[in-house]
Each structure stands twice: as C-alpha cells, then as structure tokens.
Structure 1
C-alpha cells in the first residue's frame, strides 16, 4: 500500500505519551506526522524526571559525605559543591538521552515525519502548524493524538509575577546554589527539590498551604517533616505568602507569621496542561479544570481524537503517559485496549522515599469497604537495622474478611524499589496471608512487605530474624 493510502495519524507533542503513541502507531503500519513546538522529548527527559533525579542523587552523595550512621568508623567530611560542574554533568546526560531515545529513534523511523511548530486544530481532520519563522502549513489527518504535557502553574500571589522566581525548570538549570531558598509548595516537586538544595548547601524554608504531601495520609507527611527538620529544613505548615517582593536582590515573602527573606524563591505548586493554543473548543473536545477529559480507551469527546498524559485528567506520571499513548495508538489503529489505572504506583524521591499504591484505609472505608491495616515500624526490618537507618514505616491495608490487599504506603530508604511488588500483589488479588507466606530474599527492603503482612496474624517480634 502506498503511503498516501495508509491511515494517517497526527501526533501533537513529543514527550512520553506522544512518543509512545507515534512509535506504536508506526509499528502498526500507519503513517504518522509528529508536531513539536519546542524541544524533542517533553518534560521528563529535558526538565523533569531525568535532571531532577540526577540533582537528587548528587545531593544524596553530598549528604552522605557530610553525615551518615557510620561516622564513628568512617570519618565524615564537608564536600565542596561545584554546581557548574554538576550542572554540566547533568545536562550532558539529558542531551545523551534526548538524542538516543527521541531524536535518533524518530529520524530512523521512515513511517514518522517530524514537523517543528505549533499545532492548532482547523477542524476535526486538519491541523495548522505554525513554524518559528511565521510560516504555516496545513496537515490533514484521519485520526489525531494529543500529548502536549503540562507546565508549572503559578499561583496568583500579589507581586510574584514581577519577581525572578524559579520554577522547577529554572531551578534544575540554575548554576547556583543559593544561600537561602524559600519554597512555595509542599507536594512532590517542592519536597524533592527542597531537600536536594538543602543538601547541596542552601538554608531552606518551605511554605506549606496545609502540610507536606497533604494528598497522602497524614503519617506520610509527618514522617517526611520529621526527617526534614532533622536536616535543618524549616517547614512552615498552614502558611501562605500574601505578597512577594524582590528588593535589592532579595525576595521578601509576607506571611501571617511575618516576613520570610530569601536569595531565591522556588514556586512548585503543581502543573497545568498545555492545551490553550490547540483550538479544542472548535472541535468539541471537553475539558475540566484545564485538562482534556478522556475515557479508559483514551478517547476524547471528539470522534477520532485521542489524548493521554499530563494534558489529560489522568495521573501526572510519565509511565502513565507512555502507557496511555501506546494504548491510544492501538485503539486509533482499529485495536481495542484500555488503560487500567486501578493500581498506579507513586514514588516521591525524598530521603526517606515515599512509595504508595492502591487505597489508604480512609479511602477504602469511604468506598464502603470494611478495611483494616497494620503499620510496621522500620526497626523491625533487618535490612534497615543493618543500614542503621530506621526512620519510617510500611503500612498495608486489607479487606477485613477476605484479607485481600487493598493498598500499601511506605516511607523508607529505597521505598520506590519495593512498591512494584505491591503493585503485582494488588493486580493478582493476593491476600496479606499469601504475601506473608511468600519467599522474600533476606536483607532486602522488600522483605518489609512480607513482615508487615505477617503482623495481621502474628507478633513478628517473637520470630527469628529470617523465620518464614
């Protein structure tokens, strides 16, 4: 079949969702035109997951060189932080991944044509693509996919817009570590970057509208706040900036508790979908709260147009975006699949890490489920004991009568490495009794799931250290 007769799919964006959609559609034998208005790769590789985790890892190394549970036998020292060198290393890896995983793959795929420019729907079967030089091109398509991602949202604080505040994007690409850093926000990005900058030398103050990680159960935020305070990070709960000024190279944040002064201000209060320039209202695509509404098949309210990722009402994680993009492509090419979001793992890369999946006890009861839970302090986990790092907990939530696992919340070192086991157990419908009977390798963090499961039926303090 000639290319002109093949099904033609237009993909808007080039991040996790859009790339997955474009490549899966091409794999299924259709012609794809991908339109990107900025840098190939979207948020994750350029200004999100990859650079932030590099910064967090560097900060973790700096912290361990300064202080660790083994300081009595391994002499600590204060590292010299060269942010310019760290930034150069970070950006080299970002560029390597963008080239290898995005630019090269697209260039080598003859079924995908890449256009650089801003796309706008002319109608339900055509896009207008405006290039940087002002020229416009019309692209006709059979079906379309929207994967335009999201950007940092900026709260309407008086005076803020007139100041040189940081977003996560500018913070990650800054070549300086400020002496004093104020952070507005208390969710994932705020928590991760606040701790990273503190460990690299900043004196950090966090303004939390409610408390840290307030969308998670209170014990999670309390554990992170305890860890932060131990590191000298100031956490101001139930505190908002009523005004922000920038005077003589200094930020001044007015609050009910008095003025807060800082050399830099990071605003990390969430993300807003990039959809306002697409012309969605003209083709009948419904939105809510600034996000595109999609069903489990990734269909929008406009026939033949699909969407996934951070520009939609789905959870804002790159792995959700990629899974959605891939499934959307299957459905756009006459397949039939759905995105199951019943067990989405979440990880906060703080130290200790936070990892959750499924329902909290309160959420289960709100759904009318008779639930019970057990919380295991980490000093019951052998891996933690030999690490001499016992702050945190693992909590399992189960249906009372059946013992079926409903959810897991963990605050621990490397919690992100244990949560996928909980995801698999949830999807398999395992009971806490079955989890407690499984073989888990000794002296691993994931063994904590087994130990917590065993507490539903026994006192694990009466077991030997590796008893089954």
Structure 2
C-alpha cells in the first residue's frame, strides 16, 4: 500500500473532516486522518488505485483537493531484521488485543504476554460482571419499589451465590468468545508469565529472554488503596473481591464515591444491604458539573443510601464481625459500623514489576507511563496504551489506543490520539452520562459559555416512567452556540449520550439540535428539549412542539 498526503481546501470544522474521510473510504482508502486545521488529509491506498481517484472523490464531496505527495509505500511492517518478534505486547485486555489484531493484519509476528487471566479488567472483573449484577439488583429494587398505584409487586430472598454463579458463567463465555478464541483466529502467540524489562529491547518472562523490534505495554490498572491506619488489617474488599461474595452482607461501608463506589454501593443497596458511602470531597462526582452531582446525590438519598461527604479518616478497627470506620465530619467524630468494607478510592497503573527504568521508560507521579500524542514512551521503541497511562478508564478507549499504537509502531504511521469527545457512563439508576467539556473546563479553555439546564421532570419520558429525579445540561459556546459538552442524569443516559457524542465530535450547534426531529416519549428527546431551553420555557410548549 502507499501512504499519501493531500492538501484540501474548504474544510472548516470536524464535520468537514468526516465528509472528506467518508469520500476517501468510499474509494477504498484506509487509516484516514483529515484535519481542517492543517488543511490536509493523510490516508493509504492499494497500489492499483491512482491518487487521482482520491482527488476526484474529494472534489465530488464539494472540497478542493490540492497537491498530493507520497509519504511512504509498504506492504509489510516497516521494521528491521533484529528481534524475536515484530511486536511484543505485555497485557491481554482491550488495548492488547486491538493492537495484536492490527499487528497481524500488517503481517507482523506478534505475541501477547499475560501473567494472569486472559482478557483484562473489563470482561473478567470490571464492566461485564458488575453490569450484569447491576441489572439483577435493579430488577430486585423495582420489584420492591415500583412507582405505579394499583400495581403490586414483591421480591423474595436474594440468593447472591446463584447470582454470582450466573455472572461467572457469562464472564467465561465472553472471555472465550471475545479474547481466547481470537488468539487462534488471528494467529498471534500467547506467552504465559510475568514480564520485566532487562534493557531497552529485551524482556524476561519467567527466565526466558525475548527481544522485539517494538513493544506495547498494556498492563492496565488495579484498585488503589489509601493509607488509613488499621486498613491493612481490616480484611477489606475491593471492586474485584466484592463481586465474588457469596453471602449478602447486612451492611456495607464504602470509602470513596466515584463511579465505582456509586455503582457497587447501589448494587448492594438494591439487593437489600444497608449501604453507607463516605468520601473526602464535599460532593459526589466532584469533577462533574454541580447540577450532575446534585441530581446524583438526590437520587441515592431518595433511594435510602447513606451518603457522608467531607470526611477525614482517622482509623479502622474490627470488633467481632463488624468493621468500624472512625471518621471526622465538620469537626464531629463519628464511627460507621458495617459487616463489610469496600475500598473504592480510584485505581493505580500496573507498572511496579516491569522494571521500566531498565528500558528508559519515564513514569508520572502516580506511576503511570508517560506517552506522547502517538502513544510513544520516552523509549522510541516502546509504546503504551489503555489504563496504564491513566487516561480515560474505559475499555473502548483502551481498544482505540491499542489500534493506534499498532498503526504507529508496526504500520509506520503517525496517528495521533484524539480524546476530545470521549463519552463516559456510570451505570447507576438513574445512570450518569457525560461527553465533552464541563462548564468549568470550557471557561478554563477561554470560551464564553452559555448553558442550558433541564430538570428531568420536563422530559415526557421521565413523567410517564414516574421517575423524575435527574437533569440534562448542555454547555455551548455563547457566540457560535457550538455544543461543547453534554451531561445527563436519567434512565438510559448511556444510550442517549452516543447521540450527544456525535454532536460534540462533529461540531454541531444548539440550532442543529433544535432543528432535528426527536422521537416523542424517548429519553433522547431530552437533548432537543435542553436545546430549546436556551431561549424557551419548555413547560409552555405542547407535546412534540419543537
């Protein structure tokens, strides 16, 4: 294949970039990167496709193609002859498999090194097991607390061991289908064992020395444990061990109130456990907009969870079957007692045993691997992707980065990571979803900001559901009304946020949302209503009256 750069006139926004990319995709181009700021598009074409075909496609898309230049031509990885492998990947989660598959497609010799269970955090101990149990807990909660008069529902005793057994069966199934089976399908190698670097081009795996032309570190992250007196001796739980409990505790104390704490705390609350959430900061989800924090706080307290903010931790003791957490709140000493204690205070990168100084790989203050826009570390032959870099902690971000790392390390491309429109979802009930800039972030970037805040009781879907605790918020540039961020607390917010992600990614405006047709009695209609709220009182509109 040949890699080209074409100068393109007429692109003015990210939406234009998408139009150019689509035109090039239609003629078979791959690895496309269009930039309206640089006024260019880079891409690859098969050798039998003339560059004039690409120029014609751009012109037909109503843009003006200019001079074209060949950047490089290759059919196999652009690497030297040294090394046992073209690409050695440490880790076996989303980033690792994405990179391995892409590397094999380039014709590279690829191996993955894994010290534990194949599949990484998401399928084994994170997304999949927690979300299936969250759904079970939600059903149990609704059976005991449905909002409709005249409808009698009830729930029996929760058999946690049976729920966990079913969860484990799903995990095994998805691990086989989405990870293990793909090793043979694509033909890369799996090496079992602990990896550590001996020098810049050599690692050791359980006594076996291996060399490679390029490395990718994708070892993920694990629960971070705070330094609280007595914690080490308290037999505490983490997000991993909590999901393997076989007996439902009567009470659970949670240190932390980020998305993991909220999800797992609500999970056990909905199964029937008395839950207390504790946190140092004055509000939950402190990095989100205040309206989001307020809505979440209202939701969890309405449901009967205990939330304590502004906490200072003194010590933790164990008395019989109870954990005792000694805290200070507004100058007042308190003791929180519970059968089980969950630590959910964030995550730390898994870099301790890699011996990265030997490879000349620089780390950040939290032990994370420092990378540039191309995911290259301080060692030009070593890349890193996913949670180990402490970027957005989502498996879809890890997979995206793994593919880019392989393109750059093996394909010889220069793809930059773009994380400007990454959606995030917290799977509580109601769920929390966000994309783009918060109001505070937008102002820090120099925008003059205009916002719209729509309470959920203004959304018809919420009214018919009889669940009206929540909010829609849109952050926009006050001059152009370009949407900079969307933040939602509502049922199915995670489904709605994908549409908002496209709005932010492609630079759409509040007016674009106003002029779109939103299906009535869907939660997605809240996006349009929030857009109308910029200059209308939606309570005075009739149904569907945009």
Partner of residue 299, structure 1: 376
Distance of 2:117 and 2:275 partners within structure 1: 31
Partner of residue 112, structure 2: 34
Distance of 2:316 and 2:97 partners within structure 1: 39
Name which of structure 1's ranges 43-52 and 253-262 shifts more when overlaid on structure 2.
253-262
Aligned length: 461
Shift of 1:33: 1.2
User: Contact 2:349 / 2:390 at 8 angstroms: preserved in 1?
Assistant: no
1:84 aligns with 2:84: no
Distance of 2:408 and 2:504 partners within structure 1: 26
Partner of residue 264, structure 2: 193
Distance of 1:77 and 1:90 partners within structure 2: 23
Aligned Cα RMSD in Å?
Answer: 1.6
CA distance 1:5–1:73, shift in 2 (3 Å): farther
SS at match of 2:387: coil
Partner of residue 215, structure 1: 287
User: Deviation string for 1:285-305 (max 9, x for gaps)?
Assistant: 111121001122111111111
Distance of 1:315 and 1:88 partners within structure 2: 30
Partner of residue 339, structure 1: 417
Unaligned runs of 5+ in 1: 131-135
Distance of 2:171 and 2:313 partners within structure 1: 34
User: Contact 2:313 / 2:326 at 8 angstroms: preserved in 1?
Assistant: yes
Partner of residue 408, structure 1: 486
User: Contact 2:295 / 2:470 at 8 angstroms: preserved in 1?
Assistant: yes
Shift of 1:424: 0.3
Partner of residue 428, structure 1: 506
Distance of 1:458 and 1:241 partners within structure 2: 47
Q: Which has the larger radius of gyration?
A: 2
User: Contact 1:364 / 1:371 at 8 angstroms: preserved in 2?
Assistant: yes
1:254 aligns with 2:326: yes
CA distance 1:5–1:303, shift in 2 (3 Å): closer
Q: TM-score if structure 2 supplies the norm length?
A: 0.82
Partner of residue 387, structure 1: 465
SS at match of 1:290: coil
SS at match of 2:112: strand
Matches of residues 26-425 of structure 1 in structure 2 within 5 Å? 26-70=104-148, 72-110=149-187, 112-130=188-206, 136-210=207-281, 211-256=283-328, 257-288=333-364, 289-333=366-410, 334-425=412-503
SS at match of 1:329: helix
Unaligned runs of 5+ in 2: 1-75
Q: TM-score if structure 1 supplies the norm length?
A: 0.96
User: Contact 1:293 / 1:313 at 8 angstroms: preserved in 2?
Assistant: no
Distance of 1:222 and 1:456 partners within structure 2: 21
SS at match of 2:312: coil
SS at match of 1:337: coil
Partner of residue 58, structure 2: none
SS at match of 1:139: strand
User: Deviation string for 1:325-382 (max 9, x for gaps)?
Assistant: 0110111111231221011111111111111111111211122110010101112212
Distance of 1:451 and 1:222 partners within structure 2: 20
